[in-house]
Amino acid sequence: MIFGKDNYLHKNRGKFLLGYEMGDSYVQISYMKIGEQKPQTLSLVAGAQDYKIPFVLFRAEDSGLWYFGKEAKEKQKEKQGHEITNLLELACRQKEYAIGEDIYDTIALLALFVKRSFSLLSMTAPMEYIAACNFTLQEAKKEQIEVLQKMRDFLQLKHIDFHIMGKEESFFYYNLHTDPQLWKNRVYLYEMEEDHFVSYCLELNRNTSPVVTMIHKKEYPLRGDNNLLTKEEKDGWFLSVLKEDMENTIVSTVYLIGEGFLGEWYQQSVRYLCQKRRVFLGNNLYSSGACYGLSHLLMPKEELKGYIYLGNDKLMTNVGLLVLHRGKEIYFPVLDGGSSWYQIKKEWDFLMEEENRLKFRITPLDGKNVIYREVLLQGLSLKKGVYCRIHMEVTMEAKNRMLVKIWEKGFGEFYPSKNQYWEEIIVL
């Protein structure tokens, strides 16, 4: 009999996992055949590292045809028409978008772009061979998550399992799948684009079990006259940032990503960085990390199970039910600390006898200050020896707000259903 990781490999042999970075102005797609160790990134030019797909749609006025990505940019120069950018933000902000007299659903427009971008992989990973896709966002916000979940209905690709994570978690998974010497101490990632400059510092607490990983984000003000600076002035400015971050701390590895690092203007900075540190320059870290993360979620490696990432979107508590099993009270796990709150949706069926309440135990990951919360099933009246089946669904409305929904299902002739329903928010 095949279980767990081996079962997933067996069922999906020959299929692909995708890591899909969805930025504001571009997307990137990395892909990995299930069972392989390292993802590849889709390039728009064979043999080059042209990974960025412009996040744009264009509708030609004369033909009404839709174009996307790089072709949309090219057609815009040749034809009259309408360009649509910031597709994810647009779908979060409004339901409909008008072009002349035509009205389009904004989520449908986003789905059109995603489906067309999937088609770029048709020679390598045809749509029917994609098993799962992990979308990585700048920050996984509730409205964005809801839009991406709705987008799945428009895509009509039910065979593809969708996941979502933030950039910081992608950075964590990317590191986890490199040589352990590269993340023996702190790891820095600097991302510099025209409109932002940020760093992520990855730090591991090896005194805990599992090893807890935290990522600290820092935003730096862009120099208003940045484009007017000489190379030497820009290099000096970046060097001062590095020294402020890294003095008196041990850093194993530094990653430099983004178009701001084009041009090799940072000679002094590189000399400083390369003092007992490994330095990497590239621009496909997030999509690769999303691919690694998806692989880990679906087929976790035994040697990596001892590491957990706790970011701003992670549940900081374990939640369980105290239930009777063969006359003894036991702990039944409901939610695991370290899970992404926005991806939580769990459901179970239980048999109730006598009791008309559910008792939850909420345990912070540090094990301190355990609290208990009860959900009263008002109106449910049971006697000894009389059972009732209930269906419970648990989701999260926010990082610390657990929504519990309960349906009473009766128990055949012994307890006819009254179609009762209860709903309660529990603050964790």
Q: 135-179, pLDDT tens digit by residue?
A: 999 887 888 988 998 998 899 888 899 999 999 999 999 999 999
Structure tokens at 386: 């009389």
* pLDDT per position as a tens digit, 76-98: 998 899 999 999 999 999 999 99
- Rounded Cα distance between 310 and 286, Å, is 18
pLDDT reported for residue 73: 95
Q: How far is Cα 190 from Cα 172, in angstroms, rounded to an integer?
A: 14
Does the pTM surpass 0.75? The reply is: yes
Does 277 map to a domain? yes
Q: What is the CATH number of the domain that holds 401?
A: 2.60.34
Q: What is the pLDDT of residue 2?
A: 42
pLDDT at site 328 = 86
- Domain-embedded: residue 413: yes
Q: Which residues of the chain have pLDDT under 70?
A: 1-6, 223-228
Please indicate, yes or no, whether residues 49 and 156 belong to a single structural domain of this protein.
yes
Domain shared by 155 and 178, yes or no: no
Same domain, 127 and 221: no
**Residue 273 in domain:** yes
Domain end marker among 148, 165, 182: 165
Q: Are 339 and 240 part of one and the same domain?
A: no
Find out whether 300 and 272 touch, Cβ atoms under 8 Å: no
CA gap 375, 356 in Å, rounded: 9
Same domain, 45 and 156: yes
The verdict on residue 41 lying in a domain is yes
Choose one of 110, 140, 165: the last residue of a domain: 165
158 three-state secondary structure: coil
Range of the domain at 29: 15-165
Task: Give the number of other CB atoms < 10 A from CB of residue 293.
Answer: 25
Q: How far is CA 200 from CA 167, 177, 287, in A?
A: 10, 17, 16
CA distance 44 to 120: 9
Per DSSP (E only), the strands in 111-229 are 130-137, 161-166, 186-192, 197-205, 211-219
Count other C-beta atoms under 10 Å from residue 16's C-beta. Answer: 22
Name which of 392, 385, 391 is nearest 353 in CA terms: 385
Q: Which amino acid is at 344?
A: I
Distance CA 218, CA 233 (A): 22
DSSP string, 252-281: EEEEEESGGGTT---HHHHHHHTSSSEEEE
Please state the domain count of the chain. 3
Residue 295 lies in a domain: no
pLDDT tens digits along 12-31:
888 999 999 999 899 999 99
Together in a domain, 127 and 85: yes
pLDDT of residue 263: 86
Per-residue pLDDT at 171: 97
- Mark whether 219 and 348 lie in a shared domain: no
Residues 6+ apart with CB under 8 A from 183: 175, 176, 202, 204, 252, 253
What is residue 158's predicted lDDT score, i.e. its pLDDT? 85
Specify whether 152 is located in the same domain as 203. no
Same domain? For 281 and 349 the reply is no
Which CATH number covers residue 224? 3.30.420.40
> Residue 227: what pLDDT?
60
State residue 319's pLDDT score.
Answer: 96
Q: Which amino acid is at 326?
A: R
Where would I find the H helices in 279-423? 285-298
Residues 34 and 125 occupy one common structural domain: yes
Domain membership flag for residue 308:
no
For residue 296, is it within any domain? Answer: no
Does residue 152 sit in the same domain as residue 27?
Answer: yes
Q: Which of 165, 199, 220 is the last residue of a domain?
A: 165
* Helix H or strand E segment including 393: strand 387-398
Same domain, 146 and 36: yes
- In a domain, residue 99? The reply is yes
Tokens of 357: 């309440």
